[in-house]
Chains A and B, each alone.
Chain A
Amino acid sequence: EPEVTQTPSHQVTQMGQEVILRCVPISNHLYFYWYRQILGQKVEFLVSFYNNEISEKSEIFDDQFSVERPDGSNFTLKIRSTKLEDSAMYFCASSDGLSSYEQYFGPGTRLTVT
């Protein structure tokens, strides 16, 4: 069964450093998403991406965040200058955007900012 994959599973970085989180969505899906889950809190939407552009973003997704689909398979989230409060589990998701409505989530990348 196709699945969303994410790398790395755990990333430790120092405050102020740039990080790139990588995702490979399900191959025939058209919509891609990033969500985050701060430890012990609810899952929060960050951004959605369709047709090579951002289709929607939350107030969390400020100028320090960016997304990119650099090739036909990868979807990345870049955090330019990490802050302590960026420490969270980041989930990538994808959906086909057609007949089904559910989003399929990857296993997540745990980002720890020290």
Chain B
Amino acid sequence: AQSVAQPEDQVNVAEGNPLTVKCTYSVSGNPYLFWYVQYPNRGLQFLLKYITGDNLVKGSYGFEAEFNKSQTSFHLKKPSALVSDSALYFCAVRDVRDTGRRALTFGSGTRLQVQP
């Protein structure tokens, strides 16, 4: 069974500072990994994905994430946080090996609060 852990319920960071939102995963084979963001009363917006190749992936709004196979992690990062980045962030995983299964398994979410 696949699972995702987001160990922090909330991350607080000052505007202009770098931010990191942590995610670790567990799958039987290799993972497809995703980050989504949810603003209040909105759906989930796709930010970025890791499928294969370069371990550092870049996505929307200046976000990036680093895939670390040995630590089974996929932390979301941004060099300089904006107040408008304040939202709920979800990490999700899908097992590459199980081609018949496309369901995403989500973490519990991390609320990012960027203070002015």
Interface residues of A (CB under 8 A from B): 4, 6, 31, 33, 35, 41-45, 48, 55-56, 58, 91, 93, 95, 97, 101-108
Contacts and interface: CB of A to CB of B under 8 A. Distances in A.
Interface in B62-116: 90, 92, 94, 100-109
B37 to A, nearest CB: 11
A102 B49 contact: yes
A35 to B, nearest CB: 8
Contact of B103 (A45, A102, A104): A45
Interface residues of B, number: 23
A42 B107 contact: yes
A56 B108 contact: no
B106 A56 contact: no
B43 interface: yes
B104 A45 contact: yes
B100 A91 contact: no
A93 B34 CA distance: 14
Given A41-B108, A42-B106, A103-B102, 8 more contacts: A42-B108, A42-B109, A48-B102, A91-B43, A91-B44, A93-B44, A95-B102, A101-B49
A17 B77 CA distance: 45
Main SS at interface, chain A: strand
Contacts of A102: 34, 46, 49
Contacts of A42: 90, 106-109
Contacts of B108: 41-42
B104 A103 contact: yes
Residue from the set A41, A48, A102, A106 with the largest chain B CB neighbour count within 10 Å: A102
Given A101-B49, A102-B34, A45 B105 contact: yes
9 contacts: A42-B90, A43-B44, A43-B90, A56-B100, A56-B101, A95-B102, A102-B49, A104-B46, A107-B43
Given A101-B94, A105-B43, A56 B103 contact: yes
B106 A43 contact: yes
A5 to B, nearest CB: 10
